[in-house]
Amino acid sequence: MSRADSVYKMAKMMRPYLFKKREDIDAIIDYLDDKITGTRFAELFNESVSKGNRTGKIRFLDIPYTRSDGQILRKIESAEHARQMGMKCEKYADDVIQQVRRELVSGVATAEQIEEVYYRLHPSYKK
């Protein structure tokens, strides 16, 4: 399974039959439902490793966005990168991307609001 929708579907189907891994599946479902951030998702898996329910390394991640917020940021950054590589003449500094991140993390704006403004300012880029 390489697509998030396939992982989501399988997790939902397996959940009723799990005991030891139920918390892991709940974390996956919550992340894919945008109920938790990437940082919280990693923390939940770290807790599972600490309890001995799963093997692996303890990982410390700083991903303060939900999955959909991160995807929107990735699209904005990809468009910015393409522009910087000369595909479009208009250029923006990294501080624009940092401002978008700050607005998302602080809750000043939702990912959808930022995306709407971005594409209004850059109509040549498709969603």
What is the pLDDT averaged over residues 54-64? 89
CA 105 vs. chain centroid, Å, equals 12
**Cβ neighbours, 10 Å, residue 51:** 10
What is the pLDDT averaged over residues 30-55? 93
Position 41 scores a pLDDT of 95
d(CA 62, CA 124): 32
CA 14 vs. chain centroid, Å, equals 23
In the predicted model, is pLDDT for residue 39 greater than 60? Answer: yes
pTM of the model as a whole: 0.63
Could you report the per-residue pLDDT of 63-110, keeping only the tens digit for each? 999 999 988 888 888 777 766 665 544 445 566 677 777 777 787 778
